[in-house]
Amino acid sequence: MELLPLLSLWFCSAWGYAPLHEPGVGGMYNDAAFIQDLMERINRDMEPAEPAYLDFGSKMDHSGLSIVPGRAIKDSEFLDENDYDTLLGPSGHPSIRDQEYLQHSTLYGHKLGAAGAGALNVKGQQVPTEVKSDTVLPAYCDPPNPCPVGYTAEDGCLEMFENTAAYSRAYQGSQDCMCDTEHMFDCHAAQESDDESDMNNLGQSSFLADMQMDGQHKSLVAKKFYNHKAPEQTLSRLNEMARNAAAAAAHDSGIKLEENPYLQGEKLPVAAKKGHHSQN
């Protein structure tokens, strides 16, 4: 019972990718697309992409698990085994002796032992065992993509933009996406509300946000916010601008949301080390 998922994990980790392995799901699916994608990104702007680099990793996995006691790991010996020269291509690398080796991470063994327990534990809760049959993990709404200095709409970003909470809220509000129950005060309202109640929510929740974020300047920040936002015309103009922008973005990117390739794979128990203020 316990051996099978472990074996599959081991096998997969050797290929640089570990699949979902929640109870009841298990099994494997075609990794080739993921791997290809991954390697393309990793190899970008480096040496010419060498498919052989993949093999390096898989060989490393094995040697990582079989440190011969008392033996000095010579670089030359190591290279013979792994043929790193050929992996890097004819151009080679200027100082091979300075290479760092994956082997020194020696985390592969750990994964065999503990990944099962660790991966299920996200923020102290058990991840629901029900997993979408889709291989892509869920995502939240997409934030707006304003144009940085020197960029124009031709680069696929937003020129009509206002750097405010209200704008971002309206922009995201028009998307059909998963509500972030942890950090949105009222997911139901956000989905259902019409324009008018939306405006009220907008003022209220942003006000609350200001209170929460900037404890020492409650009144000051709140005042600033209202001064800035008070005319309802501005608000609806802003809403309209944001929603149009969101609609245009959705049109441009098509089904991009469902296709974010980076959201594939095992869920890792990783958390932001955000400060205590922002956690509370």
Partner 1 sequence: MRDVWSSWSRGIRWDTVAVTASLLYFFLAPGLSAPEVFTNSFYVQLQDGHHGRVTADGIAKRNGFQNLGPVLGSENEFHFVHDGLPHARTKRSIPHTRLLKSDPHIKIAVQQTGFRREKRGYNPLRVENLVDLPPVLEDPSDPYFIHQWYLKNTGQNGGKKKLDLNVEAAWAQGITGKNVTTAIMDDGVDYMHPDLKFNYNAKASYDFSSNDPYPYPRYTDDWFNSHGTRCAGEVSAARDNGICGVGVAYDSKVAGIRMLDQPYMTDLIEANSMGHEPNLIDIYSASWGPTDDGKTVDGPRNATMRAIVKGVNEGRNGLGNIYVWASGDGGEDDDCNCDGYAASMWTVSINSAINDGQNAHYDESCSSTLASTFSNGAKDPNTGVATTDLYGKCTKSHSGTSAAAPEAAGVFALALEANNKLTWRDIQHLTVLTSKRNSLFDAKGRFHWTMNGVGLEFNHLFGFGVLDAGAMVALSKEWKTVPARYHCEGASMSKPRKIPSRGSLILKLETNSCQGTETEVDYLEHVQAVITLNSTRRGDIVMFMTSPMGTRSMVLSRRPNDDDRHDGFVKWPFMTTHTWGENPRGTWTLEIQFNGEKPQTGWIKEWALMLHGTKDPPYVGLPVTDPHSKLAIVKKAHEDRKKA
Within 164-223, the residues that bind partner 1 by CB under 8 A are 164-165, 168-169, 171-172, 178, 180, 182-186, 205-206, 208-209, 212-216, 221
Could you give the CA distance from residue 82 to residue 16 in angstroms, rounded to a whole number? Answer: 17
Residue 73 CB, shortest distance to partner 1, in Å, is: 5
Nearer to partner 1, 180 or 195 (CB): 180
Nearer to partner 1, 3 or 149 (CB): 149
Query: In which element (H, E) is residue 126 found?
Result: strand 125-126
48 binds partner 1 (CB under 8 A): no
Establish how many alpha carbons lie within 13 A of residue 158's alpha carbon, considering only the half-sphere containing its beta carbon. 21
Could you give the CA distance from residue 227 to residue 221 in angstroms, rounded to a whole number? Answer: 10
Could you give the CA distance from residue 106 to residue 60 in angstroms, rounded to a whole number? Answer: 10
Nearer to partner 1, 47 or 240 (CB): 47
- The DSSP string of 50-114 is -TTHHHHHHHHHHHHH-PPTT----HHHHHHHHTHHHHH-TT--TTGGG---GGGG--HHHHHHH
With contacts defined by CB under 8 A, name the span among 22-30, 31-39, 192-200, 230-238 that binds partner 1: 31-39
Residue 3 CB, shortest distance to partner 1, in Å, is: 15
Nearer to partner 1, 143 or 231 (CB): 143
Residue 7 CB, shortest distance to partner 1, in Å, is: 16
Could you give the CA distance from residue 44 to residue 23 in angstroms, rounded to a whole number? Answer: 36
Residue 115 CB, shortest distance to partner 1, in Å, is: 8
Place of tokens 């291989």: 135
Residues in contact with partner 1, total (CB under 8 A)? 117
The footprint of partner 1 on residues 87-126 (CB under 8 A) is 93-95, 97-102, 104-114, 117-118, 121-124
Residue at 90: amino acid letter: P
The footprint of partner 1 on residues 223-252 (CB under 8 A) is none
Helix axis angle for 232-253 and 165-173, nearest 10°, is 50
80 binds partner 1 (CB under 8 A): no
141 binds partner 1 (CB under 8 A): yes
Could you give the CA distance from residue 178 to residue 187 in angstroms, rounded to a whole number? Answer: 9
Residue 27 CB, shortest distance to partner 1, in Å, is: 18
